Structure 1
Amino acid sequence: MDHTAHHAGAAHEGPAGRDGHRGGPAGASWSTAAKATLHCLTGCAVGEILGMAIGTALLWGNVPTMVLAIGLAFVFGYSFTLFAVRRAGLDFKSAIKVALAADTVSIAVMELVDNGIIALVPGAMDAHLDEALFWGALLGGFLVAFFVTTPVNKWMIGRGKGHAVVHGYH
């Protein structure tokens, strides 16, 4: 399967890179953007859930719990991309640069939306792990964050930024 078909028909522009693939997509498809957002959301969700669960179980306050959850969301979000591009043969320093370029904006938007929703849902920050409110606010925040972040990723990929920088390493 060629690169263009792999990315749901996204047109590519710019000079061919070391792998023969063209530069950033001229117009990313919604499918490509959704896949990039889902990839990012997976890492964020692992970190966020782990951080919220740890902070809640340890009876930490709202601020330290959110700081831990957001920090772990970035760590896990970056690590998914980092491991993928390392498997593709990139050295560690280059892989870190690609992960930072690919995921920073997507993770930041996702975390801002997700944590904003959790903070705005009455009682969610004080809910415990065994309460539906805890999980409902967390999962609802992820859902809204996905729909807010997908157009951001579409715009960035369409300009050769964000997740588009990973495409050359498939």
Structure 2
Amino acid sequence: MEQRHEGHEGRTGHEGHDDHGPAQSHKHQAPAHGAGGPVSWGTAARATLHCLTGCAIGEVLGMVIGTALGWGNVPTMILAIVLAFFFGYALTLRGILAAGVDLRTAVRVALAADTLSIAVMELIDNGVIALWPGAMDAHLSEPLFWIVLAISLAAAFVITTPVNKWMIGRGKGHAVVHQYHH
């Protein structure tokens, strides 16, 4: 059943030909992947990649701004984390608002959909950078900076994907967003 949705992340125009029965064929009360039902790793990976995109934009921008302004490691990392949450939420908001949802509802949905995913991602990402010898002191022009950033984002993706799979399977996280895509 979940494979039918594979490759249709965010598109929910399947109501007329789904096999969930008449109760769900005309409305979107349950997420496309079934609250409490099995969720494919591909679906979880796409949701994680969505969050990772926003996090990566925020991380890199925060590091660039902090470094350019000559800030220390802690303020630069704080800025990067704040921007990662901002851009993670912004990408989700963009899709929800495009579906015609009012701003207040869209903000609530984005917070519900992305907070845990982004928090886990940021914990892993920044933990790797903080613990990697020399990474916190590497400059943007040094390969070490970019190599460790790539490794930290990859680690965040790998560790956050099961979290998103678990949340989507329970009708939480990105499953909430699917209710608003038309």
TM-score by length of 2: 0.84
Partner residue, 2:28: 21
- Match for 1:23: what amino acid? A
1:150-165 paired onto structure 2 within 5 Å: 150-165=161-176
Q: Describe the shift of the 1:53–1:104 C-alpha distance in structure 2 as closer, same or farther (beyond 3 A).
A: same
Q: CA RMSD in A?
A: 2.2
Runs of 4+ deviating beyond 3 Å? none
Q: Tell me the CA shift for residue 12 of structure 1.
A: 7.2
Partner residue, 1:139: 150
Q: Does the 8 Å contact 1:57/1:129 carry over to 2?
A: no
Q: Does the 8 Å contact 1:27/1:159 carry over to 2?
A: no
The answer to which structure, 1 or 2, has the higher relative contact order (CA under 8 A, 6+ apart) is 2
Aligned equivalent of 1:107, options 113, 118, 125: 118
Secondary structure at the aligned position of 2:136 is classed as helix
1:1-150 paired onto structure 2 within 5 Å: 5-7=4-6, 16=24, 20-24=27-31, 25=34, 26-150=37-161
Q: Does the 8 Å contact 1:109/1:149 carry over to 2?
A: yes
- Match for 2:39: what amino acid? A
Q: Tell me the CA shift for residue 21 of structure 1.
A: 2.6
Which runs of 5 or more residues in structure 2 are unaligned? 9-18
Q: Deviations over 1:40-92 (max 9, x none)?
A: 00011001100011111222111100000000000000000001000001000
Q: Tell me the CA shift for residue 123 of structure 1.
A: 0.8
Partner residue, 2:13: none
In the alignment of these two chains, the number of paired residues is 165
Q: How many Å separate the matches in 1 of 2:178 and 2:20?
A: 11
- Match for 1:41: what amino acid? L
Q: Tell me the CA shift for residue 27 of structure 1.
A: 1.4
Q: Deviations over 1:16-35 (max 9, x none)?
A: 49x61341421111010000
Partner residue, 2:16: none
Give % identity: 64
Partner residue, 1:166: 177
Q: Deviations over 1:100-136 (max 9, x none)?
A: 0000000000000000000011111111010011111
- Match for 2:136: what amino acid? M
Q: Tell me the CA shift for residue 5 of structure 1.
A: 2.5
Q: Describe the shift of the 1:70–1:78 C-alpha distance in structure 2 as closer, same or farther (beyond 3 A).
A: same
